[in-house]
Amino acid sequence: PVVMITALDQVSDRVRGLEAGADDFLTKPVNDLQLMTRVKSLVRLKSLTDELRLRASTTRNIGIEELLSRDFATEDVKPKVLLIDERKSSVERIQKMLRDSAELDVATDPNAGFFQAAETQYECVLISTAFSGFDALRLCSQLRSLDRTRFLPIMLLADEGEEGRILRGLELGINDYLIRPIDQHELMARLRTQVRRKRYNDQLRASVAQTIEMAVIDGLTGLHNRRYLDSHLQTLFDRAAARRRPLSVMITDLDRFKSINDTYGHDGGDDVLREFARRLRKNVRGIDLACRFGGEEFVVVMPDTEGAVAEKVAERIRAEIAQAPFAIGSDGKTIEVTVSVGVSSLLKGTDSVAALMKRADLALYEAKSGGRNRVVAKAA
């Protein structure tokens, strides 16, 4: 964050500084309260942004460089802003000021304004301190304590002589403030700064969530991927062993999948994989972990499931795949698809994840070499 400190004292100078990219603008002689409170606010915001950037940069695959270079100030989408103010003359002035630059909603009752802020996707909320029977800072505190509005920018509209209240507001987490009489250009410049920062941080948060999803979800089938299986299977295995509960694993392999790719191309193969994943998901429970292991191989981990039950589930999946042909492409063409399945279950004693998977893999190999389109279960 950059704070400009200058002898220039005109509102136009302040606006020029903010539009040039400064996060704040203070005029000499600098008021101690203003300096300390604004710096505190900016440091808090920078800490949040740094944390989000650090999380997002754990991968290079989410376009973070493109994101960081975007200029949100040039985006022509009007911000959606809520004004909470009970004074009619003040509301009318601000409506006039923001008529062309924001989509402004107004709440004259602070309690109604709180619920409105929580229920609608606003990009900034302006809160007046001039309520006759209500403390505006209580409203700020409530907004900061609610998950949905924790990161919503708050600007306080205060009167001259309210430095103490402004200081408490900044400690509660408000982002900025303006002293009446409010200048239109400064209001617009400060609002733009808050909206730009919110959009930027929202993009970072979305990127972090997308990155986490990309790391554990197979993009083609929507099932979990091998990376997730490798980390989660050990947890399920340890839990089952500690509680002396059963655990079973099945590995499925689409029969002659290479010939499907060779005949219908990779698009046709992708159609088959997507449909297989859909049918697989339909035939397992919510607590079962279904993953794409790689290529045309899929793994299902079934907690609290004995080997005999897992074998029946595997047979049900095999029959579900074989009984109805798979659609290929958009012209209505269909092909017959079958699947081979290997099943293994947790053994009491010195079993391990590697041994469990190895037994399922051997069972799958047996199913393939024994004629395909069948289920083989390995007890040991």
What positions carry a catalytic annotation?
296
Judged on CB neighbours under 10 Å (0-12, 13-18, 19+), 184 is middle
- Read off the amino acid at residue 129: T
Nearest-10 Cα torsion for 97, 100, 101, 102: 90
Beta bridge partners of 80: 103
Longest Cα–Cα distance in the chain = 88
Nearest-angstrom CA–CA distance, 7 and 20 = 17
Nearest-angstrom CA–CA distance, 322 and 326 = 9
Nearest-angstrom CA–CA distance, 48 and 96 = 33
SS3 per residue for the chain: CCEEEECCCCHHHHHHHHHCCCCEEEECCCCHHHHHHHHHHHHHHHHHHHHHHHHHCCCCCCCHHHHHHCCHHHCCCCCEEEEECCCHHHHHHHHHHCCCCCEEEEECCHHHHHHHHHHCCCCEEEEECCCCCCCHHHHHHHHHHCHHHCCCCEEEEECCCCHHHHHHHHHHCCCEEEECCCCHHHHHHHHHHHHHHHHHHHHHHHHHHHHHHHHHECCCCCCECHHHHHHHHHHHHHHHHHHCCCEEEEEEEECCHHHHHHHHHHHHHHHHHHHHHHHHHHCCCCCCEEEEEECCEEEEEEECCCHHHHHHHHHHHHHHHHHCCEEECCCCEEECCCEEEEEEECCCCCCCHHHHHHHHHHHHHHHHHCCCCCEEEECC
In the block, which residue shows the tokens 């507001």? 169
